[in-house]
Amino acid sequence: MASSGDTSPVVLVEKLRLSANGRPLVELERWEIPAGERVAIVGPSGSGKTTFLQTLAGLRLADEGRVVVCGRDLARMSEAQRDVFRGRHIGFVHQTLHLVRSLSVLDNLRLAAFVVGNRVADQRLLHLLASVGLEDRANSSTIDLSHGEAQRVAIARALVNEPRLVLADEPTSALDDGNARAILELLLKVAADRGAALVVATHDSRLIGSFDRRLALGVER
Ligand SMILES: Nc1ncnc2c1ncn2[C@@H]1O[C@H](COP(=O)(O)OP(=O)(O)O)[C@@H](O)[C@H]1O
Ligand SMILES: [Mg+2]
């Protein structure tokens, strides 16, 4: 949990400009996410939602401006430093999940800890799997999972290193109404339980009401 005395924002964006193929996508003078806040990034396909999330994660750098996460300016790190920083402080649920297909569910979680040199007891990983409703799937091959189950594994994996920032890119786009609602509620709950800020890119209007705030990109601006 974030300590109650720490009022610094998890994310601070200043004078940010992102563009693709010469077309401006995102311009933000100043934008902050306090600890524990839930933000929806909305906008039509092609409006820059994925690009913006990748920028918050330091997977790409801004054309102009600063992105500061947990007090660290992402542009002032080497690529290797950014990789470790991301692994430790940012959980990313990618749209295409990026699970390692040759590994079991539990090994996918172990790997997330291992790559950043974090030691996490299996007991805690199993507890995490239980929190996403997959306690009986630890030793399953990821190939055998349904899409909804794989989505849950990706969420659990994003939380392994107890990030202060969780980013999810269209986590409900491939799900029907019931499963979309369940996955979103799960994300909101697991982030809240840990005091993590949550940023979800979505064009799913079914879900917008569940967030504290939204940022509209593209034509909805
Ligand atoms: N790797 C890339 N190279 C060039 N253009 C890209 C790349 N990724 C995305 N774009 C362009 O950036 C714009 C925003 O894309 P994206 O961030 O994926 O939007 P969204 O997630 O809202 O659908 C689009 O016009 C897309 O064509
Ligand atoms: Mg996208």
Residue 47 sits in a domain whose CATH number is 3.40.50.300
pLDDT over threshold 80, residue 101: yes
Q: Give the ligand 1 atom nearest the CA of 217.
A: 22
- Structure confidence at residue 220 (pLDDT): 44
Q: Which two tokens stand for residue 64?
A: 């102009």
Q: Is residue 112 part of a domain?
A: no
Q: Is residue 4 part of a domain?
A: no
Are the C-beta atoms of residues 155 and 147 closer than 8 Å to each other?
no
The DSSP bridge pattern shows strands 64-69 and 11-20 to be antiparallel
Range of lowest pLDDT (60-69, 152-161, 176-185, 193-202): 176-185
* C-alpha 3 to ligand 2 mean position (Å): 33
* C-alpha 54 to ligand 1 mean position (Å): 11
Q: Is residue 115 part of a domain?
A: no
Question: Is the beta carbon of 65 within 6 A of some atom in ligand 1?
Answer: no
* C-alpha 4 to ligand 2 mean position (Å): 34
Question: Is the beta carbon of 25 within 6 A of some atom in ligand 1?
Answer: yes
- Structure confidence at residue 22 (pLDDT): 86
Sheet holding 38-42, edge to edge: 90-93, 165-169, 197-202, 38-42, 213-216
- Residue whose structure tokens are 């909804």: 148
pLDDT over threshold 50, residue 213: yes
Burial class (CB in 10 A: 0-12, 13-18, 19+), 52: buried
Number of domains in the chain: 1
Are the C-beta atoms of residues 120 and 176 closer than 8 Å to each other?
no
Which residue's C-alpha comes closest to atom 11 of ligand 1? Answer: 20
Domain with 24, as residue range(s), is 11-98+145-220
Among 91, 89, 88, smallest CA distance to 167 is for 91
- Structure confidence at residue 154 (pLDDT): 95
pLDDT over threshold 80, residue 4: no
DSSP at 135? G
Q: Is residue 171 part of a domain?
A: yes
- Euclidean distance between CA atoms 14 and 82, whole angstroms: 19
- Euclidean distance between CA atoms 18 and 65, whole angstroms: 9
Question: Is the beta carbon of 41 within 6 A of some atom in ligand 1?
Answer: no
Strand ranges inside the chain, DSSP E: 11-20, 23-33, 38-42, 64-69, 72-73, 90-93, 165-169, 197-202, 213-216
- Structure confidence at residue 177 (pLDDT): 83
* C-alpha 51 to ligand 1 mean position (Å): 6
Q: Is residue 126 part of a domain?
A: no
Q: Is residue 17 part of a domain?
A: yes
Average pLDDT over residues 83-91: 94
Overall pTM > 0.75:
yes
Question: Is the beta carbon of 46 within 6 A of some atom in ligand 1?
Answer: yes
Average pLDDT over residues 193-204: 90
Residue type, 15: K
Are the C-beta atoms of residues 155 and 44 closer than 8 Å to each other?
no
- Structure confidence at residue 221 (pLDDT): 42
The ligand placed nearest to the CA atom of residue 23 is 1
Q: Is residue 66 part of a domain?
A: yes
Question: Is the beta carbon of 20 within 6 A of some atom in ligand 1?
Answer: yes
Q: Is residue 197 part of a domain?
A: yes
